[in-house]
Amino acid sequence: MRRLRNVKIVATLGPASNDYDTIRALFEAGADVFRLNMSHGDHSEIRARHEMIRKIEAEKRRPIAILADLQGPKLRVGVFANGEEELVEGQTFRLDLDEAEGDSTRVRLPHPEIFAALEAGSRLLVNDGKIRLKVIECSREHAECEVVVGGTISNRKGVNVPDVVLPLAALSEKDRKDLEFVCELGVDWLALSFVQRPDDVWEARDLANGRAAILSKIEKPAAVNAFDEILSVSDGIMVARGDLGVELPVQNVPPIQKRLIRKCRAAAKPVIVATQMLESMIDSPMPTRAEVSDVAAAIYEGTDAVMLSAESAAGSYPIEAVTTMDNVAREVESDPTFREVMDASRGGRKDTVADAIVSAAREIAETTNIKAICCFSQSGTTALLVARERPHVPIIAMTHLTSTARRLCLSWGMHCVITGELERFKMAVVNAARAARREGFAGERDQIVVTAGVPFNMPGTTNILRVAPCEERLIFNTDPE
């Protein structure tokens, strides 16, 4: 099954997409990666979804990536005696550690670590920013606040603290249990919530111990400020615009999105743009024009993937939402302006042999009649470097490791093929030609570019490039090996 686009689609599974037929239909409609949200569903439900995805993978004979999204620590107020209260602009309201039920003047905030970090002038955002508080004075046990924006506050509403770096680990006890469960299950990517600093990523990486790649969610101002350091220790990034738009002024989010995408591309690491991309399709079979423009803008910016959350997990039209994303992506990528933008934004340091090889492969493919770039990669690094180039021709990533093929399904332009272990470059060329013909990228009279590292099966050894015919007779007649 060949996608007629390069950007990838991530679909979240949930109550609306919880059976085999629906998940298969989502894959056929265009989903390349399935997200398992660990905030919803117990381990038995997550296991069942995982098994259905792997069954579809075997049936379709195409690698499918599975992304487990860890919940992260949840900061919430306590409960109110009346269930809810109305806060009025200008009044004072107290947050404290007292276990008594709340009223119109105070409520419990059972997170002493927040009080330890607060200072006068800090902002507290309640219920996705609908209520805004400013700290007047505080101690390690309370915060006296002025209500800046009032509204109804009710039981266990979430709290955001945008102005300070909280002394909280990104992984709660629940997250650690979930991480071990999904790693043993065999997911390909771990999305890490509440990242504030590089150390948060290292903790998850140590626990995963190579069993899954680590994707850091950028959803806090602290993460934006420390982004370069977080990117350097992450395998991928998610621009999580939901919380980011709560903790920052909404007009700040689009330029941040553009900047983070460019940095990820320069580093040759995949990036997902997420949250509210087709929000109206939760209840409507058609998106708004603004939503279509939002998806298109992310694709023009060069993102590796766009993500559906509630649209595919809990909405009434999950398959239609994936189909819409697929249609938008195909239309954008057929626009000549898209190619101009991709070519103009090509960058990143290129100071290794592998950089030179993949850059040459892209230039050769664009100046001659080459049908595809076939790259052999054990760790996936070479394939990611090819994707960074955003070539005009398809990328066929070939590896003997199923785990590598699945992880690469998240990256721009990757058509992943699992091949046997190889010892000679000639057989790599033969396998590449067979894959290009079998997958519909080239005919026998066409040519492809093949990149690989010799000796084989050693990460980081990309050192050879060949323009090869797709007809095996010509390969054997012209190759001296």
pLDDT digits (tens, 9 = 90+) for 184-231: 999 999 999 999 999 999 999 999 999 999 999 999 999 999 999 999
Return the domain boundaries, the chain.
8-72+170-335, 84-160, 353-478
Q: What angle do CA 435, 399, 338 make, to 5 degrees?
A: 70
pLDDT of res. 450 = 95
- The CATH number of 8-72+170-335, from 3.40.50.1820, 3.20.20.60, 3.40.50.800, 3.30.750.24, is 3.20.20.60
pLDDT at 474 over 80: no
- The answer to whether 382 and 374 have CB atoms below 8 angstroms apart is no
Rounded to whole angstroms, the Cα distance separating 437 from 452 reads 19
Q: What pTM was estimated for this model as a whole?
A: 0.94
- The answer to whether 7 and 329 have CB atoms below 8 angstroms apart is yes
- Residue 472: band (very low, low, confident or very high) from pLDDT cuts 50, 70, 90: confident
- Residue 348: band (very low, low, confident or very high) from pLDDT cuts 50, 70, 90: low
Q: What angle do CA 64, 288, 13 make, to 5 degrees?
A: 25
Interval 276-305 mean pLDDT: 97
User: The dihedral of CA 305, 310, 314, 317: what is its sign?
Assistant: negative
Q: Which CATH superfamily is domain 353-478 in?
A: Pyruvate kinase, C-terminal domain (3.40.1380.20)
pLDDT in tens, 12-36: 999 999 999 999 999 999 999 999 9
- The CATH number of 84-160, from 2.40.33.10, 3.40.80.10, 2.60.40.1080, 2.60.40.10, is 2.40.33.10
Interval 125-133 mean pLDDT: 94
Percent of the chain predicted with pLDDT > 90: 86
Interval 143-155 mean pLDDT: 97
List, by residue number, the catalytic residues: 35, 76, 217, 275
pLDDT in tens, 248-272: 999 999 999 999 999 999 999 999 9
CA distances to 11, 116, 190, 320 from 23, in Å: 9, 45, 20, 13
Rounded to whole angstroms, the Cα distance separating 237 from 218 reads 7
- The answer to whether 165 and 117 have CB atoms below 8 angstroms apart is yes
**Regarding predicted confidence, which is higher, 453 or 148?**
148
pLDDT in tens, 41-90: 899 999 999 999 999 999 999 999 999 999 999 899 999 999 999 999 99
Closest to 338 measured CA to CA, from 3, 6, 31, 8? 6
